[in-house]
C-alpha cells in the first residue's frame, strides 16, 4: 500500500485492510492530538484508491474487514464515499464490513438517508471520539461541538444500524476537573449507549498545545491513583444496554475488558482492589500510545 500520511488506526482494526482515502485530519485542532500535525488534509485520488484496492485484491484475500484511513474519512462528500464503498464491494467481494473514524461534525453533514445508504453499502462501524462529556473540557481542548451534539450524532449512527465505538480520554480535564469530567463522560456514554467504549489515558505529546500548557505549569495531570479514581467514577456513571467496555489500551495503568452491564460490578471491584494496592499497575516504561 502506498500510504502518503501518518496512518493511525484503532487497536481493534489491527487485522483490517487499511485503505487510505484521505490524508490527515480535516479538523486537526484538538490541543491534545499530535497524530496529523505534519499532514496537510487532502483526499486521495481515484487512481491512488484504485491502485490500493488492486493491491489488496492480490494480497489481502484472507482479511474480511476494511478500515478507511486516515483521521476522518467520513468528511468525504457522499458521492465519493458511495464510490469508495461500491469499489470495495466490487473489487474485494469477500469483505464483510467497512469501518472508519468519524467526527461528530462529519456525521452531522450526512442526512439520515445518506447514513442508511452508507450502511447498505457496507459501512458497519464508526470510531467516534467523545473524549469528554464535560463541555468545559471539550471547549478547552478545542474538540469542537458540545457533548450533547456528539451524543446526538452517535445516536443517529445507531439509528442507521451503524455500530459506534466511542473513545474517551482519562486525564483530559487535568487534576482540577478530573472527577467532573469522569461523571459527565459516564453520563454522556449512557445517553449514547454504544456497543463499544474505549477508555484511553491522555499521553502528553511534545509539539501539541496541551503539552505546552503542561510544560508551562498551566495543566496538571492526575497521578496514577487520581486516574484510577477517575476511571472508577466513569464506570460508576456508565450504563450500557449491551456493550463492551475496554480500558486495556497500552496507555492505561489498569487493563480492563468487560461486558456491560454484566461485568460492571466486577469492574468496580477490580478498580477498588487496584486503589487498595491489591492489584499491580502497568509500569511507566510499558505505557505508550
Q: Considering the domain boundaries, does residue 247 fall inside one?
A: yes
- What's the mean per-residue pLDDT of the chain? 95
Q: Considering the domain boundaries, does residue 245 fall inside one?
A: yes
Q: Considering the domain boundaries, does residue 157 fall inside one?
A: yes
d(CA 46, CA 224): 47
What's the pTM? 0.95
d(CA 277, CA 281): 9
At 91-126, the pLDDT tens digits run 999 999 999 999 999 999 999 999 999 999 999 999
What pLDDT score was predicted for residue 36?
83
Looking from the CA of 184 toward its CB, the CA atoms found within 13 Å total 21
Give the contacts of 253 (CB within 8 A, at least 6 positions apart): 201, 224, 227, 228, 274, 281, 282, 287
What average pLDDT does this structure show over 246-252? 95
pLDDT at 1 over 80: no
Give the contacts of 256 (CB within 8 A, at least 6 positions apart): 199, 231, 245, 246, 247, 248, 267, 270, 271
- The number of domains in the chain is 1
What pLDDT score was predicted for residue 41?
87
pLDDT at 170 over 90: yes
pLDDT band at 4 (very low <50, low <70, confident <90, very high): confident
pLDDT band at 62 (very low <50, low <70, confident <90, very high): very high
Q: Considering the domain boundaries, does residue 74 fall inside one?
A: yes
Higher pLDDT, 4 or 176: 176
What pLDDT score was predicted for residue 70?
85
Q: Considering the domain boundaries, does residue 282 fall inside one?
A: yes
**DSSP one-letter code for 195:** S
Picking from 32-36, 63-67, 149-153, 219-223, which range would have the lowest pLDDT averaged per residue? 32-36
**What percentage of the chain exceeds 90 in pLDDT?**
88
Q: Considering the domain boundaries, does residue 124 fall inside one?
A: yes
pLDDT band at 8 (very low <50, low <70, confident <90, very high): confident
Length of the chain measured in residues: 289
pLDDT at 253 over 90: yes
Residue 228's domain comprises 11-286
What pLDDT score was predicted for residue 118?
98
d(CA 263, CA 235): 11
Please name the residue that has the C-alpha cell 455500530: 163
What pLDDT score was predicted for residue 270?
98
CATH of the domain at 203: 3.20.20.70
Q: Considering the domain boundaries, does residue 2 fall inside one?
A: no
What pLDDT score was predicted for residue 222?
97
d(CA 250, CA 11): 10
d(CA 191, CA 148): 9
Please name the residue that has the C-alpha cell 492489584: 279
Give the contacts of 265 (CB within 8 A, at least 6 positions apart): none
Amino acid at each position: 500500500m502506498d500510504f502518503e500520511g501518518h496512518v493511525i488506526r484503532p487497536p481493534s482494526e489491527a487485522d483490517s485492510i487499511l485503505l487510505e482515502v484521505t490524508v490527515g485530519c480535516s479538523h486537526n485542532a484538538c490541543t491534545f492530538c499530535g497524530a496529523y500535525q505534519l499532514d496537510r488534509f487532502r483526499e486521495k485520488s481515484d487512481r491512488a484508491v484504485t491502485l490500493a484496492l488492486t493491491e489488496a485484491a492480490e494480497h489481502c484475500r484472507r482479511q474480511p474487514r476494511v478500515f478507511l484511513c486516515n483521521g476522518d474519512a467520513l468528511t468525504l462528500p457522499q458521492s465519493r464515499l458511495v464510490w469508495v464503498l461500491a469499489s470495495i464491494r466490487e473489487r474485494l467481494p469477500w469483505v464483510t464490513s467497512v469501518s472508519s473514524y468519524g467526527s461528530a461534525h462529519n456525521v452531522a453533514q450526512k442526512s439520515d438517508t445518506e447514513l442508511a445508504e452508507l450502511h447498505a453499502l457496507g459501512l458497519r462501524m464508526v470510531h467516534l471520539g467523545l473524549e469528554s462529556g464535560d463541555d468545559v473540557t471539550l471547549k478547552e481542548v478545542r474538540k469542537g461541538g458540545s457533548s450533547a451534539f456528539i451524543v446526538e450524532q452517535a445516536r443517529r449512527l445507531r439509528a442507521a444500524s451503524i455500530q459506534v465505538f466511542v473513545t474517551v480520554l482519562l486525564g483530559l480535564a487535568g487534576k482540577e476537573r478530573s472527577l467532573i469530567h469522569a461523571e459527565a463522560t459516564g453520563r454522556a456514554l449512557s445517553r449514547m449507549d454504544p456497543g463499544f467504549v474505549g477508555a484511553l489515558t491522555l499521553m502528553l505529546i511534545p509539539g501539541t498545545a496541551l503539552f505546552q500548557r503542561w510544560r508551562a505549569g498551566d495543566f496538571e495531570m492526575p497521578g496514577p491513583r487520581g486516574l484510577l479514581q477517575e476511571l472508577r467514577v466513569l464506570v460508576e456513571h456508565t450504563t450500557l444496554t449491551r456493550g463492551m467496555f475496554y480500558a486495556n489500551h497500552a496507555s492505561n495503568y489498569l487493563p480492563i475488558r468487560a461486558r456491560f452491564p454484566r461485568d460492571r460490578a466486577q469492574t468496580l471491584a477490580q478498580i477498588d482492589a487496584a486503589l487498595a494496592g491489591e492489584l499491580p499497575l502497568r509500569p511507566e516504561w510499558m505505557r505508550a500510545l
